[in-house]
């Protein structure tokens, strides 16, 4: 039986392609059919039809509101019989809202794995993303071989919401590193240091990181077509601050990068790759 997929944005398309490259047959649902018909997948009319056709469904959506819609819309997933069905949710969800998804799907007899992805388009195409999962252990173990087709590093954090919290914590590093690397690049250029050489030196010096490896060419070419957008990192850092508030844990380094990406959104550049924050400094 084919695997279902909902959410064919930049990351979703990359993960879907990886699955098909690994021999999996996909059936998909998208709110606007015309946007995905050229991808070559069978497209169905509703999430309900999709889960009736498929035993396992991946969701890779922008935020929890989108997941809620897919679950609760007319002909949504929760309108179907979920017994024996598994939903693997790759979305970066709100740490509180995701608890509702566990409860709703489990109450309908289904299995829900909260499985946010660390990584963007390029590693996703190669099956090199990291996946952190929360949910029932027996469900995780049964789905692990499928997760290993799209992820290099797979971590299990059993308690519901822990995976979502871990993703937000990781994205604090991601956003902070990107903002600092962008500022360093702009300052180096102001000092008349060749940008390519500057980034090469940072790459073996204090800037050495997966972020710089992934974004060096984008900074050189100033090609800011989105792999991971300003909108997405801004949303995640905002949710991270919700988490810190709830935990009564001050965050001293999160606010500045969040507001920088917020400025990009305000300037109409929310859909650009988050490396485009470099333009603020330049």
Q: What is the pLDDT of residue 34?
A: 79
CATH number of the domain encompassing residue 216? 1.10.1040.10
CA distance 31 to 29: 7
Provide the 8-state DSSP code for 184: H
For the chain, the residue count is 282
Instruction: Please tell me the total count of domains within the chain.
Output: 2
**What would the pLDDT profile of 191-212 be if each residue is shown by its tens digit?**
999 999 999 999 999 999 999 9
The answer to whether residue 35 scores a pLDDT higher than 90 is no
**Residue-range definition of the domain harbouring residue 62:** 3-158
The answer to whether residue 1 scores a pLDDT higher than 80 is no
CA distance 215 to 138: 37
Q: Give this prediction's pTM.
A: 0.94
**pLDDT band, residue 106 (cuts 50/70/90):** very high
**What would the pLDDT profile of 207-245 be if each residue is shown by its tens digit?**
999 999 999 999 999 999 999 999 999 999 999 999 999
Residue 189 and residue 152 share a domain: no
Pairing of β 3-6 and β 56-59: parallel
**What would the pLDDT profile of 136-189 be if each residue is shown by its tens digit?**
999 999 999 999 999 999 999 989 999 999 999 999 999 999 999 999 999 999
CA distance 86 to 125: 23
Residue 264 and residue 137 share a domain: no
């Amino acid at each position: 039986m084919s695997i279902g997929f909902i959410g064919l944005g930049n990351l979703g398309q990359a993960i879907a392609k990886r699955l098909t490259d690994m021999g999996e047959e996909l059936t998909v649902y998208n709110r606007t059919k015309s946007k995905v018909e050229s991808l070559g997948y069978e497209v169905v009319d509703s999430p309900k039809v999709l889960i009736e056709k498929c035993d396992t469904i991946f969701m890779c959506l922008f935020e929890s509101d989108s997941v809620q819609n897919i679950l609760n819309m007319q002909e949504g997933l929760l309108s179907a019989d979920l017994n024996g069905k598994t939903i693997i949710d790759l979305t970066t969800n709100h740490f509180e809202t995701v608890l509702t998804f566990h409860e709703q799907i489990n109450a309908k007899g289904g299995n829900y794995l909260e499985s946010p992805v660390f990584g963007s388009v390029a590693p996703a195409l190669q099956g090199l993303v990291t996946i952190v999962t929360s949910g029932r252990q027996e469900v995780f173990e049964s789905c692990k071989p499928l997760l290993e087709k799209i992820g290099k590093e797979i971590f299990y954090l059993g308690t519901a919401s822990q995976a979502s919290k871990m993703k937000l914590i990781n994205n604090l590093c991601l956003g902070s590193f990107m903002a600092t690397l962008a500022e360093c690049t702009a300052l180096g250029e102001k000092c008349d240091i060749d940008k390519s050489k500057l980034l090469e030196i940072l790459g073996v010096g204090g800037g050495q990181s997966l972020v710089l490896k992934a974004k060096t060419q984008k900074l050189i070419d100033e090609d800011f077509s989105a792999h991971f957008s300003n909108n997405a990192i801004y949303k995640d850092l905002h949710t991270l601050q919700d988490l810190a508030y709830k935990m009564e844990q001050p965050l001293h380094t999160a606010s500045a990068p969040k507001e920088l990406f917020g400025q990009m959104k305000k300037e109409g550049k929310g859909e650009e790759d988050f490396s485009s924050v470099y333009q603020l400094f330049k």
